[in-house]
Every structure is written in C-alpha cells, then in structure tokens.
C-alpha cells in the first residue's frame, strides 16, 4: 500500500511540474544539461563588493527556478558547468538594466569581452547545484562575451 501511495505521489509531482509556465529562454542553442539560476553581485571583492567591476557574490536560487526575491541585491543570471570544466553564464540585457540602475550594463553593451581582475570562488551551495563536489573558482582574466537576442553569454574557464 505504501508503494502505491509513493508511486502515485511521485507521478502527481512529476505531472504537476509540466502545468506551469516557464521563463523566457535564450534563442541561442543551449548545450544539453541543467541550468542553475542564481544572482551575481558584479563588484570587486577587493573593494568590499561595493565598487568596481568583477564577481563578488553569488546566491543560489535553484535548478531552473525563478529568482523572486523582493530584497534582491544581485543580478539574476543562469549558469551551467560543462564537461570541459567551463562555467557558461547567461544574463539578460533587461536584468543588467534593472541591476543597480544599469551601472553594470556598460561593461557588457557593445563589448566582445569582459575583464575579471580578482578571483572568485563560488559558494559551496552553488558548486553543488552545478554538480561539482569541488570548489569552483573563476580566475582573473579576459573572457569573451557573446550578445544575441537580448542575452549576454560569458564562458569562464575554471
């Protein structure tokens, strides 16, 4: 009886997940796999996450879930770790426009790359959500930026 109940409950949960609308997706062909949504604070750690351009903090929001925090301090992004140990991050132009009144948008708009000056190690929760048991660190360097259909895509070599 317990097995039938558990099977019914599992089936109901799986079916109900398909009845809700989803978020706007990128028109760029996405690599297969799970995307994680979270927030970045685009400031330098060496400047106490208050000024400069860099990656300072991440807050995990879940697997393909929406970030609906009204006290949002970061910019919503989605990310995926690929088999080549690269972190692909997508952020919409709309999100960058809303984040801190668009102060970060000039670092992306019309650019073909961004420069990260300080290393940043993702939080343990974000690493686990991305499927890694090891710490993941974004290294300082110049990273290419691709803009298509209102979405900026950055690939970080870890």
Q: Where are the beta strands (DSSP E) in 7-63?
A: 36-41, 57-63
Flag whether pLDDT at 156 surpasses 80: yes
Q: Domains of the chain: which residue ranges?
A: 34-157
Pick the residue with more confidence: 48 or 120? 120
What pTM was estimated for this model as a whole?
0.71
pLDDT tens for 9-60 read: 445 544 444 433 333 344 444 455 678 888 888 988 888 888 889 888 766 5
> Which residues lie closer than 8 Å to 65 by C-beta, 6 or more apart?
37
* Sheet-wide strand order for 113-116: 57-63, 36-41, 75-81, 86-92, 151-157, 141-148, 113-116
DSSP 14: H
């Amino acid at each position: 009886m317990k097995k039938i109940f558990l099977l019914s409950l599992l089936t109901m949960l799986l079916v109900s997940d398909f009845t809700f609308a989803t978020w706007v997706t990128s028109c760029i062909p996405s690599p297969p796999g799970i995307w994680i949504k979270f927030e970045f604070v685009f400031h330098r750690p060496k400047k106490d996450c208050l000024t400069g351009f860099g990656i300072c903090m991440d807050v995990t929001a879940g697997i393909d879930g929406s970030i609906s925090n009204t006290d949002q301090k970061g910019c919503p992004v989605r990310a995926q770790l690929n088999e080549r140990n690269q972190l692909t991050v997508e952020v919409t132009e709309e999100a960058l426009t809303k984040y801190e009144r668009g102060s970060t948008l000039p670092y992306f708009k019309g650019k073909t790359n961004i420069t990260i000056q300080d290393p940043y190690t993702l939080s343990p929760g974000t690493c686990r959500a991305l499927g890694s048991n090891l710490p993941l660190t974004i290294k300082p360097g110049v990273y290419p930026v691709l803009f298509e259909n209102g979405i900026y895509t950055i690939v970080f070599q870890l």
